[in-house]
Amino acid sequence: MAGEPPSSEPPSHPAPWPDVLFSARGEVGAASAAGVLLLLGWILHAGLGLEGASAFYWTSLAIGMVHGLRAAWESARELKFDIDMLMVLGAGLAAYIGQPAEGALLLFLFVLAGGLEGLAMARTRSAIEALHQLIPTAALRWREGDPAGAPGEWVQVEPESLVPGDRVKILPGELIPTDAVIEVGASAINQASLTGESMPRIVKPGDEVYAGTVNVGNPFEARVTRPVRESSLHRIMNLVLEAQSQREPVQRAIDRLSQPYAIGVMAASVAVLLISWLFFGDPLLATDERGGARGALYTAITLLVVMSPCAVIISTPTATLAAIARAARGGVLFKGGQSIERLARMKAVAMDKTGTLTIGRPRVQQLHPVGWSDAQDLLAVAAGLEQDSTHPIAAAIREAAATRGVEPKQAARATFIPGRGVSGVFDGEPAHLGTYEHAEELIPVCLRARVREVLGRVQERGQIGTVIAWNGQAGVFVMHDEPRRGADELVASLADLGIGPVVMLTGDNRATAEIIAARVGITDVQAELLPEDKVAAVRRLKEQHGRGTGRRGIGGVGVIGDGVNDAPALSAADVSIAIGSIGSDAALESADIVLLGDDLAAVPWAVALARRTRAIIAVNLAFALTAIAVMAVATLIGSRVGHQLPLWVGVLGHEGGTLLVVANSLTLLAARGARPSRAPAEEPVELPAPRPHAAAPIGG
């Protein structure tokens, strides 16, 4: 049933013991055992003064060496000299000079830090595991009857067997097996697992539903549009996996420098050993009055431990992966650390209007009949003309007819004229639907001025006006494209983050663009633009607000679009953001950041999360580098003034710093989600009063 583990996966078997031993949990378990033995040895030796307590130290050291030597061997096989080898070498040398407790402490904390780091990484992948849990294991598919007379029936099949065109039934509480379009029924779909939206989405015939979302309403039937392996759920899982494998520029630099740095640490330790022993005359190894070790070799070993860059190397990936996981849980896909960095730097934004600030699906508010025209007849004719069209306006007219219970008239024939409209014949009379110029010849002369007056008022309000003319009658469809949720607060929220200006770039007419812009608080409007004009506008913004300008010498220009017709402008931006794109292949492939929901509140939330991630990385690096510098200086100065830094203090400072860095990064997983925005209020329609013989308009 839906929600169970995928049946297509092979049955689980116990993992081989080496895999269990060297897993993250195995490392934590081994470190815990080593830590207990180390503590017992310390209690027996320091507390009770028993001589045989050193056996506990050596056993603890041996447990740590099992994991340390494995990691060092893997590095050696790749001809790398890295931190794993430094730590094993440091612990081995500590044991060699008669300090097994310090060596055991080093490996205990090193293995514990590695295990906890592995568990932390696994936790940041919880979003992926959660998505895998959404893959259903069964679907109800309609099987047609055979020619022999056997009736058709619903049969349970594996989702992987579904192909485009199959009919499926989704019952209440079930997961949707793959992307599909509803044909029969209406329901509510919980998309929180993919989009982070708290409220279910109401769906009806013609709406698309997505794999992995949950039917929380009525049963419905749908037509499959994509096979399971190409569904939105699988594409999103692949994107998050790819994002987790990408590295930030800072991390790439650290990766390049880690091996030379490790070699440098080794060289510096050897140099300190030789200088202390040969130049300053320190003993190679000696014992102080309390029985503790000191001398040139002890100083070199301590320096090797404290200068190892464990915390530096883990500073960036833990924070980046935690941010990617938290964002995915909130319906935002960061395509790697570089996308996070670019979004955090963003200082100015250019936005598309249709499909971005607005939903991009016009809806009929009113059909305004002119003169003696009958609104019901005109709506039936218009719905008949648009029966086979995929244009958004056609969909809006068909939806209006269905909502009002108006049966579309059947056209004898219909002809589509690009850029003008559609024509057809009903009951022997021609009909035109579209622009005024397209419909004018069928509008009675005495009604033309009135139609132009109504149409002009509609356009002044920033709404969409479409003219219908048939059988001596005429009317104007009044449509509007609703603003998305969160559009009203977006500009103010971005301003609070220091991001501005916010520029609207649209190909729509200026009157409509300025009305939408005024409603959402945008003052810089560039309308009636071709795609190349949008690219030029983005480049001008980059000259003013790109990198090298702005606070602290950094900046960037973001473009927010619907990911379909904004591809050139998105490509020209420093960071591209596609919104409302759970089912859009173009958005998922082209944008740096994809917002799966339709609430614009996710944009400032994503910016804040990116900036917090960047700040945590900076704190991690500053802390790690400072700790290395302070302990290295303390080691060198202490050896010269007779106050040798104890090796165990260096071990605690080094590995403790690594644990603190991991813990700091994991705070990103607890970041609050975006506050859901209110739905936009619908504005009343005010048009010229109808003439005395006009039929009552259909309100919307």
CATH of the domain at 409: 3.40.1110.10
Cβ 397 vs Cβ 364: under 8 Å: yes
Kindly state whether residue 151 falls inside one of the protein's structural domains.
Answer: no
> What's the pLDDT tens digit per position in 498-513?
988 899 988 777 877 8
3-state secondary structure string across 447-509: HHHHHHHHHHHHHHCCCEEEEEEECCEEEEEEEECCECECHHHHHHHHHHCCCCCEEEECCCC
Is the Cβ–Cβ distance between 310 and 279 less than 8 Å?
no
**Residue whose structure tokens are 């003052």:** 523
Q: Determine the 3-state secondary structure of 12 from DSSP.
A: coil
Kindly calculate the radius of gyration of the chain based on its CA atoms and give it in whole angstroms.
34
* pLDDT tens column, 183-228: 988 888 887 666 655 567 788 888 888 888 888 888 899 999 988 8
pLDDT > 90 fraction of the chain, expressed in percent and rounded:
11
Q: What are phi and psi of 54, to 5 degrees?
A: -65, -20
Q: Which residues contact 474 (CB under 8 A, 6 or more apart)?
A: 369, 370, 371, 373, 378, 439, 442, 443, 444, 447, 451, 467, 468
Instruction: Give the C-alpha separation, 514 to 109, whole Å.
Output: 62
Q: Is residue 456 part of a domain?
A: yes
Q: Per-residue pLDDT tens for 271-301? A: 988 888 888 888 877 766 565 567 788 888 8
Residue 171 lies in a domain: no
Catalytic residue among 166, 179, 282, 352: 352
Q: Are strands 348-351 and 557-561 parallel, antiparallel or unpaired?
A: parallel
Cis, bond preceding 6 (omega within 30 deg of 0): no
| pLDDT exceeds 70 at position 655 | yes
- 534 found inside a domain: no
Q: Is 484 within 8 Å of 598 (Cβ atoms)?
A: yes
Task: Give the separation between CA 587 and CA 594, rounded to whole angstroms.
Answer: 7
Q: Is the pLDDT of residue 380 over 60?
A: yes
**Would 276 be classed as within a structural domain?**
no
* DSSP class of 97: T
Distance of alpha carbon 93 from alpha carbon 83, whole angstroms = 15
Q: Is 352 a catalytic residue?
A: yes
Q: How many CB atoms are closer than 10 A to CB 424? A: 24
Structural domains counted in the chain: 1
In the predicted structure, residue 123 carries a pLDDT above the cut 70 = no
What range defines the domain where residue 448 resides?
363-480
pLDDT tens per residue, range 469-481: 998 999 999 988 7
How many angstroms from the chain centroid is the CA of residue 620?
23
Token pair in block for residue 491: 């500009």
| pTM of the predicted structure, to 2 decimals | 0.68
Residue 358 domain-assigned?
Answer: no
In-domain check, residue 386: yes
Determine the average pLDDT of the residues in 666-683.
70
In a domain, 372, yes or no: yes
Between 130 and 138, the more confident residue is: 138
